[in-house]
Structure 1
Amino acid sequence: MTGIRSIKKQTDNNYINMYKMEAERRDGGTFEYFMVSRKKRPEDFYMNTKKLKADGVLIYGIYGENRDKVVLVRQYRYPINGYIYEFPAGLVEEGESARDTAVREAFEETGMEFEPLDVNGCYEKPFFTTVGMTDETCSAVYGYYKGTPSSKNITCDEDIEVVVADRDECRRILKEENVAVMCAYMLMHFINSEGDPLEFLKAADKT
């Protein structure tokens, strides 16, 4: 039966750690499988708790009087040694809701005020990111920005440019630039929407 026989922690870092599992194949044999997690202990893994809790958030935020622009960041990422377009995002701190995190991270990364929408839970629930290597989950938070973009709150270990893009610029970004996959799919939605891109969320049942 496919499953996990044991888990051993390999590293002891602040934000993410590697674990080695003794994994069981369908034929009963075993092999080593490695994963990374933001959880500090295997007891807290989803595989053990079966409770979905967001590790992080990404922010799908619309800007402008006509609600015709989307707020992105162009950020240097060490694993690719280069820049990539993403939505503003960040890790959920203890005691925070996903929306609380979105407001805080939006201000830190863009310098702007972010107003989250109250949406149906199916749109905001935590989803797994790269499930072949991690149990990390992320919630999308939707809403509107106001204010003037600024990089004044970005720390020295971050290299982030705030980008306010209309539909034509988003088409160019998708065609010519490196883009994080979750951001890419939402930009496809943004490009192909009419009027307010978030209107579908307001029309949805909130239950």
Structure 2
Amino acid sequence: MSAGNQKIRIFGQTALTDRKFVNLFEIRYSDRNGNERRWDFASRQNPPKIETGAFDIVDAVIIVPWHVPSGKLVVIREFRMPLNDYQYGFPAGLVDPGESPQQSAIRELGEETGLKTTGIRRTSQPIYVSSGLTDESIVMVYLDCDGRPSDSNTGSAEDIETVFLSQKEAADLCADSALKVDVKTWLVMDKFAATGGI
């Protein structure tokens, strides 16, 4: 094979940190010209999926709740440390060992909003949100819920407010460039604003 026609080949990785919830790793690889290069990435798994091949592990769930009594989409406004600000997003959380994504979604919705799941609409396949930065995979769980929001049951480590959105309110939120919005949430809200459906 001539230079530039080779395939990228990963030949090793090294752990750079040893923490409980997320770790940094360095990949060593050769590029298409055969040059050795390095790439840093984060993983919730230790060892990372690239080493174990366990890409079937779902790390987290993103919950897309539809509040049936009000006919509104539910989002949360949560303080996010890397942004040093509040961000609009969906309830979400890590999948506990032995837990299905649906079980995790029901648990996390209750913990973060106080709302009760009344039915699962659909579940996505495992998807990757930022594969240039992490091997984290998520599943999006669309569900119906009812009840009234309550203060989060997550303790003082999280600052979460539950927000119900009509179609117009979702459109207004999507159009407000002063707000910080999670990408997955923005995409679902944009569809909801345009069509009224999720």
Same fold (TM over 0.5): yes
CA distance in 2, matches of 1:27, 1:85: 43
Structure 1: gaps of 5 or more residues? 199-207
- Kept in 2: contact 1:103–1:116 (CA 8 A): no
Deviations 1:84-118 (A, max 9, x none): 10000000000000000000000000001013425
Structure 2: gaps of 5 or more residues? 1-6
Report the alpha carbon displacement of residue 183 of structure 1 after superposing the two structures with TM: 0.5
**2:41 matched residue in structure 1:** 35
**2:107 matched residue in structure 1:** 104
Q: Secondary structure at the match of 1:169?
A: helix
CA distance in 1, matches of 2:171, 2:60: 27
- Kept in 2: contact 1:56–1:92 (CA 8 A): yes
Report the alpha carbon displacement of residue 52 of structure 1 after superposing the two structures with TM: 2.3
**1:85 matched residue in structure 2:** 88
Identity %: 29
CA distance in 1, matches of 2:17, 2:55: 24
Q: Give aligned pairs, total.
A: 190
RMSD of aligned Cα (Å): 1.6
Which of 17, 21, 25 is equivalent to 1:19? 25
Query: Residues 46, 189 of structure 1: CA spacing in aligned structure 2 closer, same or farther, 3 A cutoff?
Result: farther
Deviations 1:26-66 (A, max 9, x none): 11111111010000113xx0564263221100111111436
Q: Secondary structure at the match of 2:187?
A: helix
CA distance in 2, matches of 1:150, 1:82: 22
Deviations 1:156-194 (A, max 9, x none): 010111111111211121122211000000011111224
CA distance in 2, matches of 1:108, 1:16: 22
- Kept in 2: contact 1:46–1:52 (CA 8 A): no
Tell which deviates more after alignment, 19-28 or 87-96: 19-28
Query: Does 1:58 pair with 2:62?
Result: yes
**2:148 matched residue in structure 1:** 148
Q: Secondary structure at the match of 2:65?
A: strand
CA distance in 2, matches of 1:116, 1:30: 51
